[in-house]
Structure 1
């Protein structure tokens, strides 16, 4: 590209980055990942998409994809919804082989606090579910705080099993309201099922956040006619509500897991977004 512009690579990169807010290599990588998620949604294999995106291995592609979208390539839903990654310049992939440039970019960048908290919540929940797998059934279901209410309308959350279930259920219920679906029926709290439910809801949750960010929908209002009487909710406050209670539940579970597993020598991180971001590189 530098040669076509009749400038040195150094000068081209500097000018390109200044104009777009993104180095050319980073922009290309991001746009190819946006193309990749679309191709996966149309049924292409992970292997074909990985090499088409310029990766030397499926493993390398999977790591980059998971870091970008918050879930592995294999969990990409089979719908051709637009899935754009955050950028300040509004340049995105547009199927099948085009670019779309938004007129007035209104997007969060990766280091935006809201984006960090949302992505950290998903990854931290995944980590806690993984650690909980080390518990036996009695430890998993042991009543630790009789009568504990996190949200009064959800009932007591007295065990690791119940708190983890409500952590996931909260997103499922609010997504159903946002997407105009029936409120999901109460599901079990067996750990293997919670892991599957978390991975499913994480994809939809992140898709919803990206869509709200792209169209500036944080101030939109949801009027829920299923409530008696009907209630209205500002979407931004809904996301803040979910994140607030999710944070409380995660640290509650983290404390209980440490109580159970400290003797066994299991190290459980602090759940610090700073450390999480460092580990992501």
Structure 2
């Protein structure tokens, strides 16, 4: 716990020990961190302002609220949260949320169902001293301190330009015959090592849309998306589905001043922590690069295309 080795994701390691599915007691957590229960509890409480047992209980209740919203049964949710009985879970849930976790016989007059399911993305969050919250499907959201991070009009402009420019490029690419659209004009080219080859107009445009689909799923707490076809018509449909949601997500981050919030993505192996502002910056950076490459390849294919300058876009856009 006291190792200060540079580059370690200490937040992830702390949460790994506290929230591991197999660590149901303080002794289990401490053993995973190679520390005594007393020392482990002291370190976590000092750093997070919450005891490890309380942190685990709260985050699992937040997960339970989300699972109920997704349609899970009260019984399955109770045992998944580590409770030995549905009754014990119902009492803990009611204390935390002020309502029943579902339809329970005799819980309301006339047997009416009490709907405990949250209605918004973060409505399942409970008050916390450290900003650490459950984020679906198996991740954690670490909210930045209030007042740090402010809305940025330039960022909003760049995000809006990115989605509109990407759509315009897909429309332009419709003029290419299929063979030219998929032709490898940049043999062996890869923008990011883990994304694979992006040698054609088709591959670059597909990656422009796919990057938003994947990152939006993480931000929204959705399942990993299925990848659609890369022909221009299919890409337009995919783009038109993801673009407005991406714009809403970024506006919501700006409205809440949540640029410094962190997302602990347990789907990665090993789990990784991402600062939300850096996710938006990542998408914008590599989207701009790919859009310029697409322009180069479209010109190489004999099509006329503009420069993609945001100044020109803003000038001709009614705002």
Q: Which residue of 1 aligns with 2:179?
A: 138
Does residue 225 in structure 1 map to residue 266 in structure 2? yes
- Partner Cα distance (1:81, 1:209) in 2: 16
Counterpart of 1:188 (choices 207, 220, 229) is: 229
Q: CA deviation at 1:126?
A: 0.9
> Where do 5+ consecutive residues of structure 2 fail to align?
1-118, 122-146
Q: Which residue of 1 aligns with 2:166?
A: 125
The aligned runs of 1:58-137 (5 Å cut-off) are 108=151, 112-137=153-178
Q: Which residue of 2 aligns with 1:269?
A: 306
- Partner Cα distance (1:225, 1:162) in 2: 28
Q: CA deviation at 1:182?
A: 1.5
2:151 and 2:257 in contact (8 A); partners too: no
1:223 is paired with a residue whose SS is strand
2:295 and 2:305 in contact (8 A); partners too: yes
Does residue 247 in structure 1 map to residue 273 in structure 2? no
Does residue 160 in structure 1 map to residue 201 in structure 2? yes
Q: Which residue of 1 aligns with 2:23?
A: none
Q: CA deviation at 1:261?
A: 2.5
Q: Deviations over 1:93-140 (max 9, x none)?
A: xxxxxxxxxxx9x9747xx21111111101110110110011110110
- Partner Cα distance (2:300, 2:120) in 1: 43
Q: CA deviation at 1:81?
A: 7.9
- Partner Cα distance (1:200, 1:236) in 2: 23
Does residue 237 in structure 1 map to residue 278 in structure 2? yes
Counterpart of 2:299 (choices 255, 258, 278) is: 258
2:237 is paired with a residue whose SS is helix
Structure 2-normalised TM-score?
0.52
> Where do 5+ consecutive residues of structure 1 fail to align?
1-79, 83-103
Question: How many residues get paired?
Answer: 174
Q: Deviations over 1:248-277 (max 9, x none)?
A: 100000111111124xxxx31100001111
- Decide which moves more: 231-240 or 183-192: 183-192
- Partner Cα distance (1:199, 1:81) in 2: 23
2:274 is paired with a residue whose SS is strand
Q: CA deviation at 1:217?
A: 0.7
Q: Which residue of 1 aligns with 2:128?
A: none
Q: Superposition RMSD on alpha carbons, in Å? A: 2.0
The aligned runs of 1:21-36 (5 Å cut-off) are none
2:150 and 2:259 in contact (8 A); partners too: no
Q: Deviations over 1:223-257 (max 9, x none)?
A: 00011111000000000000000001000001111
2:202 and 2:230 in contact (8 A); partners too: yes
Structure whose alpha-carbon radius of gyration is higher: 2
- Partner Cα distance (2:227, 2:209) in 1: 11
